Chains A and B, each alone.
Chain A
Amino acid sequence: MFKHIHQPGHDHPVPSEITPRAAYESRRDWLRRVAAGAAAGGLAAWAARDALAQAARPGKLAALPGGKSAVAGAVTMEKVTDYKDAASYNNFYEFGTDKADPARTAHTLKTSPWTVEVEGLVKKPGKFGIEELLKLSAQEERIYRLRCVEGWSMVVPWVGYSLAELIKRVEPQGSAKYVEFVTLADKATMPGLRSGVLDWPYTEALRLDEAMHPLTLLAFGMYGEVLPNQNGAPVRLVVPWKYGFKSAKSIVKIRFVEKEPRTAWNKAAANEYGFYSNVNPDVDHPRWSQATERRIGEDGLFAKKRKTLMFNGYEAQVGQLYAGMDLRKNF
């Protein structure tokens, strides 16, 4: 609440015709949007949308520009979350369990040198230095909705390329069915490892077809700059149709395997966090409803929460991956 109408750095005009209906129906929100539109210069800015799609740089870290993406669903037109919020409200348990912790403590993370080892059922396993990975394919800007399993959401302009680009280069064998992501677990730099909250290192996994989907992003930056440490520098995964915890941060190993791997949260509470963890408003978390969400920095304190969309609004792009599957069982 009490947001400034004019937010420096993000003069994104909002095309109300594609705004989710729930948000649009809220009068408060509507008034603010009109005001924001006027502040940004209305139609002129609307016409210049493409130019503005590249989020203005916050000027905190090294620039990492991303070109326009041709992938369907790669750029949502929704209002981008403030960098301040996206870089200060993080679940990164290696740096503490409070969402304000990582921004304070992750400065200890050493992101250079950094290598990502690709191993398992691939024809061309190997170690990739971060510089090599950065240049492996053209960096694109992807403006994705991010829906956390805790019931809040953001819109983040990531910079990266489809994970499929890397997967194609290492040539998975026919027996490879799943891709496992192992993240850094360094006691010296990560204070959160002292707690037994999770079984370190944090691991995540996708089915190979999910990993190959063009929306699955290997991200190196956000807001036109390299990733801040607390957001998973120097390289992380972003899977926009799944709850945020599926998008592993600070990846050091990518492993191709035949059997469905156990994942960190699934090991901790299998009844609460399934392997798929697709965003699904119809399947509740045992302790809260997943039907609605609060958009960080946008939905006022007293505004009703907005409706959560199936597959986080990416159903048209990813729905076919789960055709015939019982999503209540495979949650």
Chain B
Amino acid sequence: MRSLLLHPLAKPLVFVLCLLPLAWLVFGAINDQLGANPAEALIRSLGDWTLRFLCLTLAVTPLRVRTRTPQLARYRRMLGLFTFFYACLHLLAYGWLDMGLDMADIGRDILKRPFILVGFACWLLLLPLAATSFNRAVRWLGGRQWQALHRLAYVIAPLALLHFFWMKSGKNDFAEVAVYALVIAALLLERLVRYFKPKSRASA
């Protein structure tokens, strides 16, 4: 497994896998496979995938530490950037398909509705993380500061969850939210546990 993770083709393969949800959605849109309301299906699916990639990104370090698989580290940046990628598409789909790219309308909508505001705030918070993802930015910031900045992910995850919770709350439909909440809670708690364990080196 560990040598597979280091295989030169492993990274491109994961990259392609990460694009599959998008490929499926584009295929579905072109072939009228997204049900009666394709716009809604696209916006929601892109949001779902953003949340899933966020969970995957946050799972890398706990998995790496707990299973002693340092090779996993080389996938973290790619998964994080895919989270940002799907977040951008989710925002674009909302702005375009739901709001007709009317910037004034979008601005008003963001300010008027806490549910939209929180989602937009998540995207804004992702911006500095994506912008400092390349190696030179890490060197420029210095490891410690870079790490401090990227702990923003711990703020983004609960906010993204709140955004999803609010979206579902009017319909009292919390089953799906609960699953993501459990996953994210577990991933964040794992970090707390490690942080407070004196012996092990705290690694984000």
Contacts and interface: CB of A to CB of B under 8 A. Distances in A.
A88 B35 CA distance: 8
Given A287-B113, A302-B97, A1 B172 contact: no
Contact of B113 (A288, A301, A305): A288
Contact of B115 (A3, A287, A302): A287
A84 B98 CA distance: 23
Given A2-B32, A297-B36, A285 B170 contact: yes
Nearest to B166: A287
Nearest to A81: B36
Interface stretch (B13-21, B37-45, B79-87): B37-45
Contact of B170 (A1, A2, A287, A304): A287
Nearest to A299: B39
B109 interface: yes
23 contacts: A85-B36, A88-B35, A88-B36, A97-B173, A195-B173, A195-B175, A197-B172, A197-B173, A268-B172, A269-B169, A284-B112, A286-B170, A287-B116, A287-B167, A288-B113, A289-B109, A294-B37, A296-B37, A301-B39, A302-B96, A304-B102, A305-B98, A305-B100
Nearest to A148: B37
A197 B35 CA distance: 23
The 3 residue pairs across chains A and B that have the minimum distance between CB atoms: A89-B36, A304-B100, A85-B36
B92 to A, nearest CB: 12
A1 B38 contact: yes
B36 A269 contact: no
B29 interface: yes
Interface string A196-233: 11100000000000000000000000000000000000
Nearest to A2: B32
A301 B170 contact: no
A2 B30 contact: yes
A286 B109 CA distance: 11
B37 A152 contact: yes
Given A1-B29, A2-B32, A195-B173, 10 more contacts: A1-B32, A1-B38, A88-B36, A152-B37, A152-B40, A197-B173, A286-B170, A294-B40, A302-B97, A305-B98
B199 interface: no
Interface in B92-111: 96-98, 100, 102, 109
A212 B169 CA distance: 34
A6 to B, nearest CB: 15
A272 interface: yes
B201 interface: no
How many B residues touch the partner, as a band?
A: 20 to 34
Question: Which one of A269, A285, A289 has the highest number of Cβ atoms from chain B below 10 Å of its Cβ?
Answer: A289
A107 interface: no
Question: Which one of B96, B169, B171 has the highest number of Cβ atoms from chain A below 10 Å of its Cβ?
Answer: B171
Given A287-B166, A296-B36, A302-B97, A97 B171 contact: yes
Interface in A259-311: 268-269, 272, 284-289, 294, 296-297, 301-302, 304-305
Interface string A25-58: 0000000000000000000000000000000000
Interface residues of A, number: 31
Contacts of A88: 35-36
Contacts of A305: 98, 100
Interface string A152-174: 10000000000000000000000
Question: Which one of B42, B169, B172 has the highest number of Cβ atoms from chain A below 10 Å of its Cβ?
Answer: B172
A213 to B, nearest CB: 28
A124 interface: no
A208 to B, nearest CB: 29
Contacts of B30: 2
A286 B112 CA distance: 9
B27 to A, nearest CB: 12
Contacts of A301: 29, 38-39, 42, 97
B175 to A, nearest CB: 7
A100 B35 contact: yes
Contacts of A89: 35-37
A99 B35 contact: yes
Given A287-B113, A287-B115, A269 B37 contact: no
A269 B172 contact: yes
A74 B37 CA distance: 26
Interface in B123-175: 166-167, 169-173, 175
Contacts of A84: 36
A84 B32 CA distance: 12
Contacts of B100: 304-305
